[in-house]
Amino acid sequence: MIVPKIYPLSETALTIEWGNSIDENIREQVVHATRLLDQNPFVGFIETVPAYTTVTVYYQPELIIETIYSPFVFVKEYVESLLTKGPVKEIQKGNIIRVPVCYDDEFGYDLEFIAETNGLSKEEVIDLHQQKEYTVYMMGFLPGFAYMGSVDDTIATARKSTPRSLVEAGSVGIAGKQTGIYPLPSPGGWQIIGRTPYCLFDLKKNDPFLFKTGDTVQFYSISKEEYHKIKNAQDPTAVTEQEKDLADAVMLKSGVFSTIQDSGRFGFRAYGVPLSGAMDELAYFISNALVGNTKNAAAIECTMGGLIIQFKKNAVVAITGEGLAFINGQQIKLYQPLSVHANDSLEIRYNNGGTRTYIAVRGGFAAVNIMNSKSVCSGGAIGRLLKKEEGLNFGNSSAATSKRITDNLELPVYATAANVRVITGEESNRMATGSIWQFYSQKFILSNRCDRMGYHLQADPLVLNNTTELLSTAVTKGTIQVTPGGQLIVLMSDCQTTGGYPRVAQVAAVDLHILAQLKPGDSINFTNISYREAEELYLSRQKMINGFFS
């Protein structure tokens, strides 16, 4: 039995690792550890995310009070003790699923590159891709994305040096010895060889996921005509719009990018479902506390302003984050509870100080609850943007408290030239020594490619001294990855649950709200702190936030 390595992913997660190769014996260890943890949770345990050679354990450090050591040390020792219990159990086999793929040049736009790289014809690549049966080793990256292995060595091809900004849903790709299918439109760095008409993630179904870990997948070739025939027979529309009758408020203008958000969608990361939730959690929590809501009440996250809401009934609201707020044309202060009346209009305008504004209403905004959360996941995965003339409804305001936190409230501090604290990432040693110095000394500029999934940073490229292909493993909000081209990506609230680029650093949780308010052109400098310091800062912040609601 391999003795695993255990290390922190963030202040709220640790990873158990058995190596870096696709291996059936390692897979048995991963499955066994996942089962043990899911069946024997500790206080503060949230969920596990299994991968090819790792299991990542997510937890709430603030709930772990049974130790004189740090929460990480407690969870690490708990895991080590748990792994000594019992032999590895036989793994039950999953379903066998046959998947049609059209390998036409229109869909397989990297097929020729793979063929030339490996000295093959396109027809040989297609034949070799179909000849094997693939095991679903893990789910991740996107809802319903199945990581399968292993492709024939002769067609194994490294990820792209720079990810595409958009890969279409159904695209079948290769990354190293892995193959997989994009369930939704998404940025991605896999080499695309074809497309399937199948819908891999369908929220209309009781079980929305086509694949499960342990399933066996067989690919077979179809023509473009067959592709379109199967595709047209499906209706992938996922979410039913909420009823607009008897609305408590109406969106006169929906703004540039406005969504409903709560604290996130926990418990489904093992299926590739992003956590989502508010980008600026600190401003979000304060907005709910100001109106007396529970901690997880749904609020509106407005990006770059442009929103106008007309109220049809009296309400208590609070506006936090950045931006300018106006009631009936008169500017109001942020970070205070405010009574509004029927026919009042609330307008949010953009200001240069930051990008996101939060609107909380007493009772919370009513919205469809999908997988234990009302949060919208960008990219069409779950939910959608708020629309002009859409009706908004409020929750039960009688459950709200009269607690006020305006006295001595420490307001968040934002900056367009941000100094962001980070902890060292597990693959930071893949950077050349000079690039490690460069990471902490140079200024990074936020590019136009920045959204709720992640931020692409611009600077002189970093150099990797180890370019060996990594197997995908867990990533989380604040994970900083470096692409083969030497550029940095900082993952944010709607980020994938797993990834294969080196994780060179992790943003300290207490500074994530600073990142959430940055805009293209703003600058970032990184400062290294110890994991223990980041953990203590997190615990202190959580104590303050929980105090708002106690």
DSSP string, 513-545: HHHHT--TT-EEEEEE--HHHHHHHHHHHHHHH
The enclosing domain of 480 has a CATH number of 2.40.100.10
Which one of 349, 372, 399 terminates a domain?
399
Q: Among candidates 41, 12, 88, which has minimal Cα distance to 423?
A: 12
Asked if 133 and 42 sit in the same domain, the reply is no
> Could you tell me if residue 427 is inside a domain?
yes
Task: Give every CB contact of residue 232 below 8 A, 6+ residues apart in sequence.
Answer: none
Element (H, E) at 289: helix 281-290
The string of DSSP letters for 325-383 reads EEETTEEE-SSSEEEE-TT-EEEEE-BTTBSEEEEEETT-B----BTTB-PPBTTTTBS
Residues 6+ apart with CB under 8 A from 38: 48
Residues 148 and 227 in one domain: yes
- Same domain for 268 and 153: no
SS3 of 464-493 = ECCCCCCCCEECCCCEEEECCCCCEEEECC
Among 370, 399, 428, which residue terminates a domain? 399
Positive or negative CA dihedral for 103, 105, 110, 116?
A: positive
With the C-alpha atoms ordered 494, 497, 500, 504, is the resulting torsion angle positive or negative? positive
Query: Do the strands 473-474 and 498-499 form a parallel or antiparallel pair, or are they unpaired?
Result: antiparallel
**CA dihedral over 118, 100, 178, 130, signed as positive or negative:** negative
User: Cβ contacts of residue 371 below 8 Å, gap of 6+?
Assistant: 265, 267, 268, 273, 382
Is 73 contained in some domain?
yes
Determine the pLDDT at residue 240.
Answer: 37
Claim to verify: residue 155 and residue 42 sit in the same structural domain: no
Q: Where does 40-102 have alpha helices with state H?
A: 71-82
Quick one: pLDDT at residue 88? Answer: 53
Verify that 541 and 427 share a domain, yes or no: yes
CB atoms within 10 A of CB 231: 16
Separation between Cα atoms, residue 236 and residue 184, nearest integer Å: 11
Task: Please report, for the domain that includes residue 51, its CATH number.
Answer: 3.30.1360.40
Residue 412 lies in a domain: no
Cα Rg of the chain, angstroms: 24
Residue 473 in tokens = 């493993």
> Does residue 406 lie in a domain region?
no
Q: Do residues 302 and 375 both lie within one domain? A: yes
Instruction: State whether 530 and 434 are in the same domain.
Output: yes
Which residue bears the tokens 């984050």? Answer: 321
Domain count, the chain: 4
The answer as to whether 404 is a domain residue is no
DSSP state of 93: P
Query: Could you tell me how far CA 93 lies from the centroid of its own chain?
Result: 29
Which residues have C-beta within 8 Å of that of residue 190, sequence separation ≥ 6?
Answer: 159, 160, 167, 171, 173, 174, 175, 180, 182
Question: Are residues 345 and 304 part of one domain?
Answer: yes
The Cα–Cα gap between 51 and 31 comes to 9
Interstrand relation of 503-507 and 417-424 (parallel, antiparallel or unpaired): antiparallel
Tokens of 318: 């609070």
Q: pLDDT tens, position by position, for the chain (550 residues)? A: 678 999 999 999 999 999 988 888 898 899 999 999 999 999 999 999 999 999 999 999 999 977 778 999 999 999 999 998 765 555 667 899 999 999 999 999 999 999 999 999 999 999 999 999 999 999 988 899 999 989 999 999 999 988 898 999 999 999 999 999 999 998 899 999 999 999 999 988 889 999 999 999 999 999 999 999 998 886 443 333 444 457 999 999 999 999 999 999 999 999 999 999 999 999 999 999 999 999 999 999 999 999 999 999 999 999 999 999 999 999 999 999 999 999 999 999 999 889 999 999 999 999 999 999 999 998 767 988 999 999 999 998 766 665 566 666 778 889 889 999 999 999 999 999 999 999 999 999 999 999 999 999 999 999 999 988 888 899 999 999 999 899 999 999 999 999 989 999 999 999 999 999 999 999 999 999 999 999 999 999 999 999 999 8
* C-alpha closest to that of 473 among 125, 110, 176, 70: 176
Same domain (yes/no): 387, 266? yes
Coil, strand, or helix at residue 494? coil
Q: From 14, 5, 11, select the one nearest 474 (Cα to Cα).
A: 14
Specify the pLDDT at position 542: 95
**Residue 485 region by backbone torsions, left for phi larger than 0, else alpha for psi between -120 and 50, else beta:** alpha
Helix (H, G, I), strand (E, B) or coil at 421: strand
Helix (H) or strand (E) holding 308, with range, is strand 307-311
Same domain, 145 and 9: no
End-to-end CA distance of the chain: 46
Q: Of 207, 232, 257, which residue constitutes the final position of a domain?
A: 232
The answer to the question of residue 89 being in a domain is no
Q: Which of 349, 350, 285, 291 is nearest to 317 (CA)?
A: 291
Contacts of 61 (CB under 8 A, 6+ apart): 11, 12, 44, 71, 72, 535, 538, 539, 542
The domain of 432 spans 417-549
| Residue 244, in any domain of the structure | no
Q: Which of 313, 299, 321 is nearest to 250 (CA)?
A: 313
Structural domain contains residue 237 = no
My answer on whether 383 and 471 are in the same domain is no
Do 14 and 113 share a domain, yes or no?
A: no
β-pairing verdict for 473-474 and 417-424: unpaired
Residue 79 corresponds to which tokens in the numbers above? 């895991």
